[in-house]
Structure 1
């Protein structure tokens, strides 16, 4: 199930011009069509040359038809990230639009509001359909929509934040974990190094130099999971500082004794744990509504 738009362009718009448009934009792989994949956010969708016949009545003469495709049963941020890319394509080529979605824009004109309305409506139908077909008791990973959007906004900003701080501070991406059957937002904090820690469900503490050393044998790398409340005694509190999420900003260059001691004494985590892609973490409100 997917959200589909069809764009009809005059045949005198060269394929090379269409491909050049996508090549000058980030995260596209261009090969006839254009596939968008953002490694920072996990969002993906595609534009492809459509082999079907244009059905829009006002199109006459030779046509070039481009099909946009965005999978349903995804968190709502897929639509939020796709819309500016669709908008840029429409602005560049001024195509005739064919939108078959319920509550969509029909034959245009294009608008951000209409795109998101059609996407959200179709996505909700897909949630309901898939849940019904799999059974309401089926376990799907989910987080509140605000938490998903906050992580998305953070990850989109990571390259700029890291560039601003240089090598003095590590800015981690937020990753999604399946911890015992529950989705958790998380970031990696390695060996207590200076790290800009955003407000997430759990912090994945990676230990190398600070891993426990047995009386006999070599130190073994491991990891621990800690909650925000456990960090309150050793790090600066979460605060609003103009980032997409509240953060804990380190005040040290090298981990002080209190931080090193805290990390060393953490219990090793040995429970079930799986890193999952963003497309597997559904919007909880929409999931609950569909059930």
Structure 2
């Protein structure tokens, strides 16, 4: 299930050269044949623009006819997908002065592009996708979900993560927010390897790979990964860090102080099961709950 939007120039033609020249130099795009795939590794958001081949535009295909470019954005995705896609679509339309054909319910129809209609049309279709899939109880097995506000906070942090990393340079690591199933619960997490200097925002748990600070067993270090809740870690973080205006904490040391070392080393070996969950598979809890009633 997906949202499909079609584009054509208001005047003139649109060629394969136009298509590739525009997308090949834009961040997060990869051109493959007649497709330009957007995929942001930090946020997990993806969608695709596709140049319609001539054989696809037949008299029986009113949706594609005379509209040489199509956009496809999947449904049954976190609600923030469209907030990342909309500026990309808007920039594309403005650059080439495009008209659109939008066959979706609650869409914009044919004619001028309206960014607010893209937002509302995809959101409507996405919620319909949740309801369609989740009405079957078998499809609810293994579904991960978190509150919408928490998902949006994670997306905003991840979307700006590269800019923060560029600003602080190599002196500190800026981890993205990841999602895990920890002991049967979906959580947000950020990695803090061996207590190194990082800039980190609030998450449910810090994921701490221990190598240099690995626990010793039978006189040998045994590398592992453990999790510590934000509440347990906050005191040591704020003691050695500065809280920024956005609530994130920047640790102010070059190498871990002795009490940080002791804190990391003192953490118990993780006994709970843990596995990563792709960002696109963590759904909005509020939409999920409305869909399973």
TM-score, normalised via structure 1 length: 0.91
2:235 equivalent in structure 1? 233
Deviations 1:139-158 (A, max 9, x none): 41011111111111111111
- SS at 2:236's partner residue? coil
Aligned pair 1:104/2:107, yes or no? Answer: yes
- SS at 2:167's partner residue? helix
- SS at 1:96's partner residue? strand
Output the CA distance in 2 between the equivalents of 1:42 and 1:101. Answer: 24
Which among 52, 70, 89 is matched to residue 73 of structure 2?
A: 70
Structure 1 position 101, deviation (Å): 1.1
C-alpha contact 1:34 1:47 (8 A) present in aligned 2: yes
1:2 equivalent in structure 2? 2
Structure 1 position 35, deviation (Å): 1.0
State the superposition RMSD in angstroms. 2.1
- SS at 2:268's partner residue? coil
Deviates further, 246-255 or 140-149 = 246-255
Which among 29, 40, 50 is matched to residue 42 of structure 2?
A: 40
C-alpha contact 2:180 2:275 (8 A) present in aligned 1: yes
2:57 equivalent in structure 1? 52
Structure 1 position 195, deviation (Å): 1.1
Output the CA distance in 1 between the equivalents of 2:217 and 2:50. Answer: 57
Deviations 1:147-205 (A, max 9, x none): 11111111111111111111211111111111133221100001111111210111001
Output the CA distance in 1 between the equivalents of 2:111 and 2:279. Answer: 31
1:133 equivalent in structure 2? 136
- SS at 2:174's partner residue? coil
> For the structure 1 residues 211 and 148, does the alpha-carbon distance in structure 2 shift closer, same or farther, using more than 3 Å as the test?
same
C-alpha contact 1:131 1:138 (8 A) present in aligned 2: no
> For the structure 1 residues 137 and 40, does the alpha-carbon distance in structure 2 shift closer, same or farther, using more than 3 Å as the test?
closer
Aligned pair 1:89/2:89, yes or no? Answer: no
Structure 1 position 240, deviation (Å): 5.8
Which among 179, 182, 201 is matched to residue 182 of structure 2?
A: 179
2:30 equivalent in structure 1? 29
Aligned pair 1:257/2:258, yes or no? Answer: yes
1:276 equivalent in structure 2? 277
The 5-angstrom pairing of residues 152-167 of structure 1 reads: 152-167=155-170
Q: Which consecutive residues of structure 2, in runs of 5 or more, have no partner in the other structure?
A: none
C-alpha contact 2:189 2:207 (8 A) present in aligned 1: yes
- SS at 1:249's partner residue? strand
Structure 1 position 136, deviation (Å): 7.5
Output the CA distance in 2 between the equivalents of 1:208 and 1:192. Answer: 10
Output the CA distance in 1 between the equivalents of 2:267 and 2:89. Answer: 47
C-alpha contact 2:243 2:249 (8 A) present in aligned 1: no
Aligned pair count? 284
- SS at 2:72's partner residue? strand
TM-score, normalised via structure 2 length: 0.90
Structure 1 position 88, deviation (Å): 1.2
C-alpha contact 2:8 2:14 (8 A) present in aligned 1: no
Deviates further, 166-175 or 11-20 = 11-20
Aligned pair 1:224/2:226, yes or no? Answer: yes
The 5-angstrom pairing of residues 280-291 of structure 1 reads: 280-291=281-292
